[in-house]
Structure formats: structure tokens, C-alpha cells
Amino acid sequence: MRRSQLLGAGLLLIATLSSAQVGEIAKRLGLGTTPLSDSKISSGLKQALQIGAEQSVKLTGRPNGYFGNPDIKILMPSNLRTLEKGLRMVGYGPKVDDFVLSMNRAAEAAAPAARKIFIDAITRYVL
């Protein structure tokens, strides 16, 4: 599992835990003897989500951010795969490849714009 996937899974876990559970986990890990307040947990969660969003944009919002990463590469939509096979059989494979590349390049170009949307949602709606 990639580091960004682990971070996402960790953030999801934290988001589903109550403040008492997070405080108890922190105590068990030796991160403090006093329970964390809801505002501290909320602040930490927001910061972690913002860092995760920033790192995701850094990874995906560049050439080959999507196309060069087999875990997130955008492939031909499943409902077009039969058409894709037919086009490849009649010599249009390079055009199909260009189409797949263009979908990934569009996602790479859109990632930096999505950063602001993610950050706004995190600061407005997280706890």
C-alpha cells in the first residue's frame, strides 16, 4: 500500500473515531496524559487533511502524476472497452492511446484547481 493510501486510511480512521477514543489512543501511545479537547482534535484533523490534500496535489498535479502512476492512472471507461478493442484491431490503437493520455493530462491539469476546493471544504465543513 502506498504512503498516500496509508495516510488516507489513517485520516479516515481518525475521522470516524470519537474524541474520547482518539484521546484514549493518544494516551496509550504515550502522546499525553490529558485527554485532547474536541477543538484540539478538530484542529489536528483539519491540519492533517490539509497536508494530505497538498501532498496529493503535488503528486498528481504534474506531468505523469496520473498517467505515470498505475494505481491511479485513468483507463478507458469500462463501457467503452469493447469499442477500444475493435478500434485497436482495425489500426486505431495509437488514437486510443492518445485519448487515454489526454484524459490523464486533463486530470493532472485539474489537480491544482481542485486543491482550493479541498482546502475550502476542509476548513468549512470538517468538525
> What's the number of domains the chain is made of?
1
Confidence at 8, pLDDT banded by 50, 70, 90: low
Cβ count within 10 A of residue 111: 19
Confidence at 30, pLDDT banded by 50, 70, 90: low
Cβ count within 10 A of residue 41: 21
Q: Compute the distance between CA of residue 62 and CA of residue 65 in angstroms, rounded to an integer.
A: 5
Q: pLDDT tens across 55-107, in order?
A: 999 999 999 999 999 999 999 999 999 999 999 999 999 999 999 999 999 99
Task: List, in order, residues 6 or more apart from 42 with CB less than 8 Å away.
Answer: 126, 127
Domain hosting residue 107, numbered range: 3-125
Q: Measuring CA to CA, which residue among 65, 70, 76, 71 is closest to residue 98?
A: 76
Q: Compute the distance between CA of residue 84 and CA of residue 78 in angstroms, rounded to an integer.
A: 10
Q: pLDDT tens across 101-124, in order?
A: 999 999 999 999 888 888 888 888
The residue type at 23: G
Q: What is the reported pTM? A: 0.65
Given a cut of 50, is residue 1 above it in pLDDT?
no
Mean of the pLDDT values across residues 27-39? Answer: 68
Mean of the pLDDT values across residues 29-44? Answer: 73
